[in-house]
Chain A
Amino acid sequence: MKALSRAVASAAAAVMLAQCGCAGKQIVHSQNEQTVISLAWWGNDPRTEYTLEAVRVFEEHHPDIKVRCNYSEWSGYEARNRIRMASETESDVMQINVGWLDDFSKDGTGYYDLNKVSDVLDLTNFSEDTLKYGTRNGVLNAIPIAMNTETVYINKTMYEAHGLSIPQTWDDMFAAADVLSKDGIYPLCGASKAIWLYTIAYAEQKTGKSFFDENGAIAFTPEELQVMIEFYVDMVDRKVIPKIEDFKKVKVENGTCAGAVAWVSDAINYFGSSIENGDEIVAADYTAFSPSDSGAGWYEKPATLYAMSKNTAHPEEAAMLLDFLLNNKEMALLQGVEKGIPISKSAQSCLDEAGMLSGLQYEASVVMDNNNKLREMSPLIENTSLINPFNDAANLVLYDKATAEEAAQQLYDTYAESFDVT
């Protein structure tokens, strides 16, 4: 009986003690802490959609990482990027233009040194030559996604409907305009930068000079700039192209333009609907005075590059995302050849295995690869400080506010204020 009493008392005491313990116990609920990094890109709907999907896949693989996305179409993006870089609020991982490397990181300190994260970021998928595109002052700042060049896309179906063959020369373009303009159709169109590079190609072929000399100084004289202005005005006046201010890509889709000058990576953005409608679109030779000169005065460059913010607080996580975007197979399948043929060996072999190396962008890439006259593009040539004054100068002539000579001299003077000129 005594033993029983002791047992009962002990049990009661234990229960009371346990109760006391429970009542005062601190409850701690640990929250799932995530590392937040950001990713910025520009692009049209398809790119945005697959990139958002890729981010979702990446977050699934890395539930401890949250990716905030900053994106927009190209229009206005350059200004947005400049503000972000200047205010040091840029994203941890960024899609950048090759020209921005010189704008923001001439000495290699404007972006993160990617060699520091080579344990996470697999650089073996890229040749040394490729990595040079993203290297400034010996520092690896960015990695190119694919190679790119302005390409002449022709709606073969529309051309043939008007009895025209695929244009190869400048004269072919003007001849096509004579025919197509009767039906209110432009043989070609292009956005501001594309037409700028198109006129440079013409002027370089005509003058035999490069726009920049080997030191990066503007080599064109006012006379050569005048050639560019006159050529642009001539194309507008003779309805080869619409004014760049009137350019709307929708006109490519609704049949107002039978061709376009656009990046390899923009082929589907421009002609996706036309292809869906059954039109045959071809990547034509680069326009020249004669077909054998195709490619002269034309430039190639990395389509876009990925860089990391020099200020990133989470370099390892950012590098993981960067590696995913460049080398991951799931990402490669989502991206396809939207930006051109991927440079990453891993991504490229993945697309090859999946039979995805095809389509207009792939054909444009093949044209680019097969042309040995294309030269590496100077990053400076895409600078809006070059392009916008050119457009202003051309408009002075178009609207009879100045002669081509006056406009060219004014343009030269403007350039001389901001750039080295010879």
Chain B
Amino acid sequence: MAKKEQSRPSLKKIRGLQLSMIIGYAVIIIAVICVVTNLAVKKTDAVLKNKVISMTSSLNVQMKLNMDSYISRMETIGTLAFGTPEAYTYDATDPDNDEYEALNTEKAITDKLYSLCIMDNFCDYGIVYRNNRTVGKISNGTSSLMGDTMYEELSSMITRQRTHDGWCAGYKGDLKRIYYVKRVHDNAVLVMSFYTSELESVFDNPETLADMDIRLVDSDYDILYSSRDEETGRHLPRTIIERIEGNTSATVMDNAYLVSVNSCVDDWYVICSIPTRIILNEKNEMQYYIYTAGLIAAVLAVLFGTMMSIRLTRPVKRAVAALDNKASNDQLTGIFNKQTFNDRTSDRLDSSLSIERHALILLDLDNFKGINDTLGHAYGDKVLAKTGSILRAEFSTEDFLGRVGGDEFCVLVNSSPSGDTKYEDFILEKCETLCNAYRAYYSGDKGDYKISASIGVSFFPEDGSTFDELYAASDKALYSAKKCGKDSYVFYSKDESGEVADE
């Protein structure tokens, strides 16, 4: 019998239960890991975003403070010019000036201003008078840029009424210099300027934030300085403006950008920005690791659960199989007992199509009572066990073998003949082999007790389509075989008289 065929319903149920357990366990584990992983990712995401926003905001504030500090330092250096009284008392436009005295005064002021130039890398550090006369350091660049209207141009840069000073960048579109101008008196202004590139030291950001764009923009969002040189002089990208427009101090983060803004001197703004995908690159990596770890954990848990389940159910299955075997098999012969045979045969026949062929072979040992009486029950049992062996040897595992009475055996032949052999011939050959097997078999202490068997055969579907019908037909055929002198086989055949035709 095929293993599949041999599988007992109880074992099938256990297997089904085991499968359900494994699937259920896997689903629960995967669900739990998914939930935990998602929670971990969401929490990590939130914490990381908050930290990044906080750090970027801090960086931006630091940049703003750097800028404020730089601006403040420059303004202080500017006020140092007032430490020389001549700087604010001398008026080069005064028509009463003695030209020679004026020349010497201007030299003296220039020397003082020169000594203050050491404070930084100034392009200009000097005083310009209404008549465009200058003292101190006035660069060629500024002279070229402003020409004969230098005083007026510089005066127009004064925007703060309290301190009479002001800042200007991008004068006439030239972003090389940033100017600070402070009124000295009615006819003179102090001008200081430095290269915009000097702001590199102000906005020097840590290496770890090298991808951060740091910009200084004016109130129109025109870029006065950018950590990306090529941007200086351009308008702040629209994508950045729309995120911070109207804010003077804020940090905004969405899926595309992290932008932080802070106002500094006058209406200038320090703006730090970085694409979110770059700043949260670590987050994406972390998500990947968390999900990968979750997946590995789920796979391991499922494998472990499956293994444990298999290990746990194996002894149960063995016990059940043993019990099942005991309950369904005849212990003496090792083949089905009557009940099991009847059930299995009935099920098989019920599910068989009419085009299929089966034969039900009913075998009864001749004179078995005499064996028991003469040789004892132990010898009888040996004969029965031998019969089980003969049947197992002759029939395939597809066929059902059963002990259906004390010395009565039954076989449902499910296998088919090979080649062109007719089915009846195939069965006939089986019966002949069986009879021969008994003819060659002797029992008793001296091996001199002859044993034989009588066989009755019926065919599905012509002799019956149910077990009962076939059994009845085979029984009739067996009866005929007994009646004919035993040690023979008879195929059931209904004749007109209703008698069974013999071999």
Complexed CA–CA distance, A75 and B118 (Å):
12
Chain A residues positioned under 8 Å from B103 (CB to CB)? 245, 395, 399
Contact B122 A249 (CB under 8 A): no
Q: Mark B84-126, 1 if CB is under 8 A from A, else 0.
A: 0000000000000001100100110001011101100111010
Complexed CA–CA distance, A253 and B148 (Å):
12
Given known contacts A76-B117, A245-B103, A32 and B147 CB-to-CB distance under 8 angstroms: no
Interface locus among A78-86, A163-171, A176-184, A283-291: A78-86
Question: Within residues 299 to 323 of chain B, which ones have a CB less than 8 A from any CB in chain A?
Answer: 304, 307, 311
A-B pair number, CB within 8 angstroms: 70
Q: Mark A21-54, 1 if CB is under 8 A from B, else 0.
A: 0000000000110000000000011001000100
**Nearest residue, chain A, Cβ from B141:** A45
Distance (whole angstroms) from the CB of A396 to the closest CB of chain B: 8
Q: Which has the most chain A C-beta neighbours within 10 Å: B99, B117, B141, B176?
A: B117
**Nearest residue, chain A, Cβ from B116:** A76
Interface locus among A64-72, A102-110, A257-265, A350-358: A64-72
B137 interface hit (Cβ, 8 Å): yes
Given known contacts A70-B121, A76-B137, A83-B115, A250 and B311 CB-to-CB distance under 8 angstroms: no
Contact A249 B143 (CB under 8 A): yes
Distance (whole angstroms) from the CB of A236 to the closest CB of chain B: 13
Contact A395 B100 (CB under 8 A): yes
**Nearest residue, chain A, Cβ from B300:** A11
Complexed CA–CA distance, A249 and B201 (Å):
31
Contact B141 A44 (CB under 8 A): yes
Chain B residues positioned under 8 Å from A254 (CB to CB)? 147
A20 interface hit (Cβ, 8 Å): no
Given known contacts A4-B311, A273-B144, A245 and B106 CB-to-CB distance under 8 angstroms: yes
B356 interface hit (Cβ, 8 Å): no
Contact A399 B100 (CB under 8 A): yes
The tally of residues in A whose CB lies under 8 Å from a CB in B reads 32
Given known contacts A4-B311, A83-B115, A72 and B143 CB-to-CB distance under 8 angstroms: no
Contact B207 A31 (CB under 8 A): yes
Question: B140: which of A8, A69, A79, A249 is its contact (CB, 8 Å)?
Answer: A249
Distance (whole angstroms) from the CB of B68 to the closest CB of chain A: 22
Complexed CA–CA distance, A201 and B262 (Å):
60
Question: A73: which of B106, B139, B197 is its contact (CB, 8 Å)?
Answer: B139
Contact A73 B140 (CB under 8 A): yes
Contact B137 A253 (CB under 8 A): no
Complexed CA–CA distance, A395 and B103 (Å):
9
B195 interface hit (Cβ, 8 Å): yes
Given known contacts A80-B118, A84-B118, A269-B140, A73 and B123 CB-to-CB distance under 8 angstroms: yes
Complexed CA–CA distance, A250 and B304 (Å):
87
Distance (whole angstroms) from the CB of A345 to the closest CB of chain B: 32
Contact B197 A72 (CB under 8 A): no
**Nearest residue, chain B, Cβ from A87:** B118
Distance (whole angstroms) from the CB of A265 to the closest CB of chain B: 14
Chain B residues positioned under 8 Å from A73 (CB to CB)? 123, 137, 139-140
Complexed CA–CA distance, A25 and B461 (Å):
81
Question: Within residues 237 to 279 of chain A, which ones have a CB less than 8 A from any CB in chain B?
Answer: 245, 248-250, 253-254, 269, 273
**Nearest residue, chain B, Cβ from A45:** B141
Contact B117 A72 (CB under 8 A): yes
Chain B residues positioned under 8 Å from A245 (CB to CB)? 103, 106-107
Contact B140 A48 (CB under 8 A): no
Distance (whole angstroms) from the CB of B324 to the closest CB of chain A: 24
A375 interface hit (Cβ, 8 Å): no
A162 interface hit (Cβ, 8 Å): no
A206 interface hit (Cβ, 8 Å): no
Chain A residues positioned under 8 Å from B144 (CB to CB)? 250, 253, 273
Complexed CA–CA distance, A394 and B417 (Å):
140
Given known contacts A72-B122, A250-B147, A401-B100, A1 and B311 CB-to-CB distance under 8 angstroms: yes
Question: B114: which of A1, A76, A273 is its contact (CB, 8 Å)?
Answer: A76
Distance (whole angstroms) from the CB of A66 to the closest CB of chain B: 9
Q: Which residues of B contact A (CB under 8 A)?
A: 99-100, 103, 106-107, 111, 113-115, 117-118, 121-123, 125, 136-141, 143-144, 147, 176, 195, 197, 201, 207, 304, 307, 311
Q: List 8 A-B contacts (CB under 8 A).
A: A52-B197, A73-B137, A73-B140, A245-B106, A245-B107, A248-B143, A250-B144, A401-B100
Q: Which residues of A contact B (CB under 8 A)?
A: 1, 4, 8, 31-32, 44-45, 48, 52, 68-73, 75-76, 79-80, 83-84, 245, 248-250, 253-254, 269, 273, 395, 399, 401
16 extra A-B contacts, CB within 8 A, seeds A69-B121, A73-B140, A399-B99: A1-B311, A31-B207, A44-B139, A44-B141, A52-B195, A71-B121, A72-B137, A73-B123, A73-B139, A75-B138, A79-B111, A79-B114, A84-B118, A245-B103, A395-B103, A401-B100
